[in-house]
Structure 1
Amino acid sequence: MRLEPYRHVLTRPGVLPLVLVALLARVPATAVGITLTLHVVGDLHRGYGAAGLVGALSTIGMALGSPALGRLVDRRGLRPMLLLTTVASAVFWAVAPELPYQVLLPVAFVGGALTLPVFSVVRQSLAALVPEEHRRAAFSIDSMSVELSFMVGPALAVIVLTTTSATITMWAVGVALTLAGLGLYGFNPPTRSDEERAAGRPAERHRVLSPRLVTVLVAIAGATFVFAGTDVGIVAILRTAHQLNWTGMVFIAWGAYSILGGFVYGALPRPWPTFVIMVLVGLCTMPVGLATNWQWLSLLMAPAGFLCAPVIASSSDAVSRLVPASVRGEAMGWHGSALTTGTSLGAPVVGFVLDRYGPVWAFALAGAVGAVVALLAILVTRRRPDAPADAPAAEPEAIAVGAGGTP
């Protein structure tokens, strides 16, 4: 392993402040899923499938809204988008705790479509601040930052919820997201490099969704299907074992494994194959459902957890290379859509299986779906290695087999 890539990234102007701002801004965003789940299960007295449906509608809204918000950034700049989404997020979390379940469903969809896209904004800014040869390390740092946020956000949400109420927790999430939006508005990170801004806007709009980019997006959706299933499954296992108070500790362990994997991935001289990592994530997730207490759960999650951050980092790097700067915001929006699409499908499907068949079959299903989707992506990549005419050149096999160090 080499540490030079991290030094090159963190010493570039604007990168370290962006990483620190992103870390703080993402904490409330990572608490959204578990807060909604426990609100529906605890306060509204519904099952995990019903809780997953609320999360699914919210993330479907995010999936539909994210590319449009990214396009808004490409055309109008970052601040108009931040103003719109910050206000919308504040309104949603102010009213959501008081809504009955039937009304919460459509409101969650609208709130999701206009949610603050912290993750996409940060990745777009990193792509603008860091040259291509150092982006793998940059996105590894980003993925580790995400995991640090996940270690704090869900655990903090559980602590606040168990010591106060779900309503206060939801209001706290809303206040924190509003402050995050205002902080990003004030910081106003760049979305294009100086060279890209000097080149101006192209006369014609480039195509965003090339076949190769679509393949990457589908594969990452399969991976986040696994992550969402794991998220819901952790709560179910601990609730069944009457160890819900250990939820925060288990999430911290999951995040720690991922941070270690992200650090190793970014420091390697050659990248791990993106789609192969996704296959391994699915296979390693399948036995997690055998856990019966928080200790075994933390142990069985280690192999899959180690691969989580590399999946996100490598897919972010691939997306940033497959499109020109003029449409990078929309492309990162589609990347965010892929992430949330997998989540929107994984939460209700795995929740449905949890309600009827228990954790063993739920984790087996989640892992199998992720592995099969990634295997299909490998086959498609090998059959269609041609690059789209309007995208920057890249090694097509790198995504599947790790060639050339360029996913």
Structure 2
Amino acid sequence: MSFQTYADLWRIPDVRRILVLGLFLRIPMPASAVIVTLHVVGPLDRSYAEAGLVSTVLAIAMAISAPWLGRLLDRLGLRRTLLLPLAVLPIAWSIAPWVGYLPLLALVAVAGLFTVPSFSIVRQVMLRSVGPGQRTAALSADAIMTELGFMAGPVIGVLGASYFGTSWAMLMIQWLGIAAAVVLWLINPRITEGDPAIPSDAVPSDAATSDAGTPKSRFGPPSWLNPGVALLLAGTFTASLILIAEDLGTVAAMRDFERTALLGLVMAIWALGSLLGALIYGALNSHPSTAVMLVLLGATTVLTAFAWDPISFTVLLLLSGFFCAPTLTAALEAITSNVPSSVRGEVMGWHGSAITLGSAVGAPTAGFAIDLIGWQGGFVLGGGLGLLIAAGIWLTTRRMSNPAEASLPPGEKSPAPAE
């Protein structure tokens, strides 16, 4: 284990610049989630269910847009792709804070469809800027900055809503993200490997042929999709489902323990565990596979259901949090290592959609389990599904290893969770 890797990463100008800029691109996501909820139940005088519908619509829109905008990144480059969000988002978010509920719902859907693909862009710049031996550390560094953003975002959202009101807070936090996107457009970092003299908005793309030179079908699955990548996306979906189950289960548990006032602190400790896990995972010399990380995440999630008081619950939740970010990082690293760099934007978009859909499916499912057997239900359901699907990934990968090799273009490795 060596933390020197992170120091080496920080010395790379493109890495340092995109990590800081990425933080400002992402903070508006968790901040606006809090602000919009407070706005719907406050000034708009609607129910929490209606506030949840806004979040669901946004999640679905972002799940649709991520692969689409990721593909545009691959074909058109960064600057041309960002022109769409930069044309739509300022209009949508400048109007949204001042309208009624139904127009807000429509504007949030439009904004979600044109959300800046920050996760894809940051990770592509990171992977392009580092050597093969630094890939996992780079993705872990990105996960650390993401956790920092999702820890700071809700705090900023609550403070903004308290001091300026929800409408002005929504406007300001979204314009912070838009300003960061403008800076990104001006800096225009390269997102693919190649000649440094070629700007990212001049990356050639041929939709008719694959990287191996074989024709690409305009219909059917994309050329990069194979059983190994599909399994890794399933693992990503499952990890996201576990995380939303833990999220809802934590709220229910603190209410059951009659310690609701401590909820923010407990959630912050959980996020801290995820941050520390990403930090250590990236510093390891040998990295466990996605299936192993999913087993550890699932097992510690089930273990949390055996907590007997707020202290034991927080300790077990911290332990489970330790495997949150590393599980998603392991899956993403395995996926990006085994697809051509020319389609990384689209692939990362699908990875983001798997996370979003996992949350969308996990929320009502975990809620049903909590209603049925109490707060423990969310942890047992999420962790149990994680263990089952991790076992399925591991068994299927072993059985299909040879066919998976054969399905890939020459020179590519089979993207198995064991890698």
Normalised to the residue count of structure 2, the TM-score between the two structures is: 0.83
Deviations 1:353-390 (A, max 9, x none): 55676433233323333333333222222221123323
- Deviation at 1:234? 4.0
Unaligned segments of structure 1, at least 5 residues? 401-406
The equivalent residue for 2:83 is 83
The equivalent residue for 2:334 is 318
- Deviation at 1:40? 4.6
The equivalent residue for 1:264 is 280
Distance of 1:3 and 1:126 partners within structure 2: 17
The equivalent residue for 1:403 is none
Letter in 2 for 1:274: T
* Counterparts of residues 8-27 of structure 1 (less than 5 Å): 8-27=8-27
The equivalent residue for 1:46 is 47
Q: Would the alpha carbon gap of residues 368 and 56 (structure 1) be closer, same or farther in structure 2, given more than 3 Å must change? A: farther
Distance of 1:192 and 1:274 partners within structure 2: 25
Distance of 1:357 and 1:36 partners within structure 2: 31
388-397 or 17-26: bigger deviation? 388-397
Unaligned segments of structure 2, at least 5 residues? 212-222
Distance of 1:85 and 1:269 partners within structure 2: 39
Distance of 2:382 and 2:375 partners within structure 1: 10
Distance of 1:312 and 1:371 partners within structure 2: 15
The equivalent residue for 1:205 is 210
Q: Would the alpha carbon gap of residues 220 and 37 (structure 1) be closer, same or farther in structure 2, given more than 3 Å must change? A: farther
Q: Is 2:76–2:205's contact at 8 Å kept on the other side of the alignment?
A: no
The equivalent residue for 1:225 is 241
Q: Is 1:56–1:348's contact at 8 Å kept on the other side of the alignment?
A: no
| 2:136 matches 1:117 | no
* Counterparts of residues 287-306 of structure 1 (less than 5 Å): 288=304, 295=311, 297-306=313-322
| 2:285 matches 1:285 | no
Q: Would the alpha carbon gap of residues 114 and 237 (structure 1) be closer, same or farther in structure 2, given more than 3 Å must change? A: farther
Q: Would the alpha carbon gap of residues 373 and 183 (structure 1) be closer, same or farther in structure 2, given more than 3 Å must change? A: farther
- Deviation at 1:306? 0.4
Letter in 2 for 1:393: E
Q: Would the alpha carbon gap of residues 58 and 288 (structure 1) be closer, same or farther in structure 2, given more than 3 Å must change? A: farther
Normalised to the residue count of structure 1, the TM-score between the two structures is: 0.86
- Deviation at 1:332? 1.3
SS at match of 1:18: helix
Deviations 1:79-102 (A, max 9, x none): 122232234333343344455555
Which of 287, 291, 299 aligns to 1:275? It is 291
Deviations 1:332-353 (A, max 9, x none): 1111111211122223433455
Q: Would the alpha carbon gap of residues 69 and 200 (structure 1) be closer, same or farther in structure 2, given more than 3 Å must change? A: closer
SS at match of 2:27: helix
Distance of 1:353 and 1:102 partners within structure 2: 31
Distance of 1:353 and 1:38 partners within structure 2: 26
SS at match of 1:301: helix
Letter in 1 for 2:273: Y
| 2:193 matches 1:177 | no
Q: Is 1:55–1:347's contact at 8 Å kept on the other side of the alignment?
A: no
- Deviation at 1:32? 3.8
| 2:399 matches 1:366 | no
297-306 or 332-341: bigger deviation? 297-306
| 2:74 matches 1:60 | no
- Deviation at 1:216? 0.8
Letter in 1 for 2:190: P
| 2:412 matches 1:393 | yes
The equivalent residue for 1:333 is 349
123-132 or 96-105: bigger deviation? 96-105
- Deviation at 1:307? 0.7
Q: Is 1:282–1:370's contact at 8 Å kept on the other side of the alignment?
A: yes
Q: Would the alpha carbon gap of residues 89 and 357 (structure 1) be closer, same or farther in structure 2, given more than 3 Å must change? A: farther
Q: Would the alpha carbon gap of residues 87 and 254 (structure 1) be closer, same or farther in structure 2, given more than 3 Å must change? A: farther
Q: Would the alpha carbon gap of residues 262 and 57 (structure 1) be closer, same or farther in structure 2, given more than 3 Å must change? A: same
Greater helix percent: which structure? Answer: 1
Q: Is 1:324–1:392's contact at 8 Å kept on the other side of the alignment?
A: no
Distance of 2:192 and 2:324 partners within structure 1: 28
Q: Is 2:338–2:415's contact at 8 Å kept on the other side of the alignment?
A: no
- Deviation at 1:197? 8.1
Q: Is 2:235–2:290's contact at 8 Å kept on the other side of the alignment?
A: no
Q: Would the alpha carbon gap of residues 310 and 196 (structure 1) be closer, same or farther in structure 2, given more than 3 Å must change? A: farther
The equivalent residue for 2:93 is 93
- Deviation at 1:292? 8.7
Distance of 1:350 and 1:167 partners within structure 2: 31
Q: Is 1:155–1:247's contact at 8 Å kept on the other side of the alignment?
A: no
- Deviation at 1:271? 0.4
Deviations 1:128-158 (A, max 9, x none): 1122222011111111111111121122223
Letter in 1 for 2:237: A
Distance of 1:335 and 1:269 partners within structure 2: 25
SS at match of 1:214: helix
Distance of 1:340 and 1:149 partners within structure 2: 17
Please identify the structure whose Cα radius of gyration is greater. Answer: 2
Identity of aligned residues (%): 34
* Counterparts of residues 130-145 of structure 1 (less than 5 Å): 130-145=130-145
266-275 or 6-15: bigger deviation? 6-15
- Deviation at 1:180? 2.1
Distance of 1:379 and 1:97 partners within structure 2: 50
Letter in 2 for 1:57: V
Letter in 1 for 2:47: R
The equivalent residue for 1:344 is 360
Distance of 2:39 and 2:368 partners within structure 1: 17
Q: Is 2:291–2:390's contact at 8 Å kept on the other side of the alignment?
A: yes
